[in-house]
Amino acid sequence: MEHLHNVLFCKWKEISKRAAFSLVIPAISMIYPILNRPSEGAAVMHTFIDDIIPFNAFFVVPYVLWYAYVAWFLLYLCIKDKDNYFKLLTSLAIGMLISYGVFYFYPSHVARPIIAKKDVFSELVAFIYQRDNPYNCFPSIHVLNSLLVAMYVNASYKVKIGTKITCSVLATLIIMSTLFIKQHYFVDVIGAIFLGCTLFKLMNIITTKQIRDTRNL
């Protein structure tokens, strides 16, 4: 019994140390408020597709779930799959830093609708509008992080299919929510998807090469 207790203690101690690395994400996020301010000549990436997509306040629910979504699946991979956890963490950090670089050198602006309704969902959207300025939206961090989480969860052979489906559905709803509550333009979403897929591909190429080089030693 004592041996089992020691094994479990060592396992959770290792997981705790591993999880501590995830603090890099909120640390990097502290840069965002500095950049989320009006900028001269900010680009407006509005397209006809944005006119087709209607405003739907209900999508504020998956939008705000994004925070718990990223935190939960980071922790899940931290426990279940160390390799994909660190690949995800690295991709998130690099992706956010690249996005902030774009925010600085190519600022953008999203024109938001006036919220007239007073239902709970509309009120929550209005609250988000007050807390988050409509500047520097390309690429969408919400979309980027949701996509990266979903791709690494689905790439893990240690994650059950039910969890993968749940993760993918939530990611899809979060991505859709950025458009339906008019936090982002369609181009912001496409840019984030392109960046996320590029990071995922490069990370797998690099790690595969490292494994191959290690085996050849």
Give me 61's structure tokens.
Answer: 């629910």
Q: What is the pLDDT of residue 152?
A: 98
Q: What is the pLDDT of residue 86?
A: 95
- Encode the chain (217 residues) as per-residue pLDDT tens digits: 444 344 445 577 788 889 999 999 999 999 999 998 887 788 999 999 999 999 999 999 999 999 999 999 999 999 999 999 999 999 999 999 999 999 999 999 999 999 888 899 999 999 999 999 999 899 999 999 999 999 999 999 999 999 999 999 999 999 999 999 999 999 999 999 999 999 999 998 888 766 555 544 4
Q: What is the pLDDT of residue 39?
A: 79
Q: What is the pLDDT of residue 211?
A: 55
> Omega before 113 cis (within 30°)?
no
